[in-house]
Amino acid sequence: AQSVTQLGSHVSVSEGALVLLRCNYSSSVPPYLFWYVQYPNQGLQLLLKYTTGATLVKGINGFEAEFKKSETSFHLTKPSAHMSDAAEYFCVEYNFNKFYFGSGTKLNVKP
């Protein structure tokens, strides 16, 4: 069965440090991939998406992700964390009319 794995349910970084949130998908065919962010008491918001073409995808708020087919990964990064980045992040795979959600990673940013 297809699945999306997000390594680390909680990640803590210092303000200004690199943010790296890991996501691995399991599809054997190139999927569509998304990262969503959820701030407390809100719905999810699209950060970025990979559909076709360039494997390095830039999103909002300075985030980017790289699609690596050989590693079946779609890790999310940001060079310098801000306090406002504290939220939960979801990696999502879409294939053949099915959506597969990762279990989410809560990012804590320390001052």
Partner 1 sequence: DARVTQTPRHKVTEMGQEVTMRCQPILGHNTVFWYRQTMMQGLELLAYFRNRAPLDDSGMPKDRFSAEMPDATLATLKIQPSEPRDSAVYFCASGPYSGGYNEQFFGPGTRLTVL
* Binding interface with partner 1 (CB under 8 A): 32, 34, 36, 42-46, 49, 51, 90, 94, 97-99, 101, 103-104
User: Quick one: 53 or 111, whose CB is closer to partner 1?
Assistant: 53
User: Quick one: 72 or 95, whose CB is closer to partner 1?
Assistant: 95
Give the DSSP letter string of 62-105.
G-EEEEEGGGTEEEEEESS--GGG-EEEEEEEEETTEEEE---E
Among 62, 67, 96, 95, smallest CA distance to 78 is for: 62
- The least distance separating partner 1 from the CB of residue 5, rounded to whole angstroms, comes to 13
User: Quick one: 64 or 94, whose CB is closer to partner 1?
Assistant: 94
